[in-house]
Amino acid sequence: MVLELSRKGKSIEPSVTLAITAKANAMKKAGENVISFSAGEPDFNTPENIQNAGIEAIRSGFTKYTPASGTPELKEAICKKLKADNNLDYKPSEIIVSNGGKHSLYNALMTILNPGDEVIFSIPYWVSYPELIMIAGGEPVMLHTNEDKEFKFSSEDLDKVKTDKTKAIILNSPNNPTGSVYTDEELQDIADWAVKNNIFVISDELYEKLVYDGLKHTSIASLNEDIKKITITINGMAKAYAMTGWRIGYAAADESIIKIMSNIQSHTTSNPNSIAQYASIEGLTGSQDSIMAMKEEFDKRRKIMADLINSIKGISCVVPKGAFYIMLNSSQLYGSEIEGMKIESSIDFANLLLEKCKVAVVPGVAFGDDKYVRLSYATSAENINEGLNRVKKLLGSK
């Protein structure tokens, strides 16, 4: 007799973004000249000063267990960063360091949710939100946004989906996959709504450092003391410092929340990697020059990619203001046939690009919106030009 496996475990979907990357990689391995726009991470190396700090940590024997919720030195560096960059006052006891921002999100949801509690977030969404909420026993509630409003939601939209089970909202600015950035006024509107209704805000600020067009990132918790009390701010080293593989994320919140998050972490993973913690201190406190250089390069590529997309027949995009992704609207092509392939969905369109142009993108259905595919510009300008010119050849110019 086959032993039954966990129903909850079986209900968790594999990550579609990773599946497409795997397919593109397999084609590359087979010698095909694939250009991938599916990356979810910076294509730069971790800055040298951070690499050296990691090596120093190994050489000096900083390779043992640390306190489960992170070292006091790194927590101190995070508090200073939050004060300097985000105008947020937190004590080390209000900080947890986790194995990536994703792990902090997981701990946060495990800490605040009871069975059946609802969490609101917007479509298009980052792929892990629904699954993380369900793993924590909550119910995902999705709020449609559209291009005309730069994929952003307001208190009015929140009112439409709020129920008496609403426990939290997830706010992700700058946003993956849309690249949208909320203004201070928009954040104030959402903060007022959350305070009025007594609903937690999980503010995912992983892409904080990547905002363009002279905009600045604001942490919603910095708006006033009331919103700070009910906000869990999530951030990490991955995207800003090109440290995706090092796995360091963190959360800042009221001590009562951080305590429970720390207890959960202490029994599931213990401390995040000691070497990566040591190197992260250098990341946060050392020179920020390479971070600025990365941002400038992303900005250049963003413009090249958006201009090219908007010059091609049948597709379009809004120019994103942050992160390193563009949502390409492919829905005008649905119902047509291109080179013998019927195009009816984002998966069909992604397959068309992979088969006919050897260009890899992520179907929007992975983010809950079939009208789009996501392109990442965490790749060279040369690749962006080459890949999108192949698409232009296939679809034609406007």
Residues forming contacts to ligand PLP in the complex (CB under 6 A) are: 40, 100-102, 126, 172, 176, 204, 206, 236, 238, 244, 249
The residue among 57 and 323 lying less far from ligand PLP, judged by its C-beta, is 323
**For residues 263 and 96, is the Cβ–Cβ distance under 8 A?**
no
Distance of closest approach, residue 27 Cβ to ligand PLP, in angstroms: 23
Least distance (Å) between residue 307 CB and ligand PLP: 24
Nearer to ligand PLP, 17 or 71 (CB): 17
- We find the least distance from the C-beta atom of residue 374 to ligand PLP, in angstroms, to be 11
Question: Which of 52-55's residues contact partners 24+ apart within 8 Å by CB, and which partners?
Answer: 52/282, 53/278, 53/279, 53/281, 53/282, 53/283, 53/286, 54/246, 54/275, 54/276, 54/278, 54/279
Distances (CA, A) of 48 to 31, 52, 78, 99, 289: 32, 6, 20, 22, 11
Please, which residue, 180 or 331, has the CB nearer to ligand PLP? 180
Rank residues 228 and 374 by Cβ distance to ligand PLP and give the closer one: 374
The region, left, alpha or beta by phi > 0 then psi within -120 to 50, assigned to residue 116 is left
Nearer to ligand PLP, 39 or 227 (CB): 39
- When the beta carbons of 233 and 331 are compared against ligand PLP, the nearer one is 233
- Look up residue 317 and give its two tokens: 């995009």
For ligand PLP, give the closer residue by CB, 238 or 252: 238
What's the CA gap between 121 and 168, in Å, rounded?
9
3-state secondary structure of 337: strand
246/392 with CB nearer ligand PLP: 246
Long-range pairs for 306-314 at CB < 8 Å and ≥24 separation? 308/384, 308/385, 308/388, 308/389, 308/392, 309/375, 309/388, 310/398, 311/392, 311/397, 311/398, 312/388, 312/391, 312/392, 312/395, 312/396, 312/397, 312/398, 313/395, 313/396, 313/397, 313/398, 314/395, 314/396
CA 36 to CA 24: how far, in whole Å? 7
Question: Cβ 245 to ligand PLP, closest distance in Å?
Answer: 9
At its nearest, how many Å lie between ligand PLP and the CB of residue 37? 15
CB of 125 to ligand PLP, least distance (A): 9
Nearer to ligand PLP among residue 143 and residue 394 (C-beta): 143
Please give the residue whose beta carbon sits closest to ligand PLP in the complex.
100
Least separation in angstroms between residue 40's CB and ligand PLP is 5
**Ordered DSSP codes for 158-170:** HHHH--TTEEEEE
Smallest separation (angstroms) from ligand PLP to the CB of 75: 17
Least distance (Å) between residue 160 CB and ligand PLP = 24
Both tokens assigned to 44: 């730069």
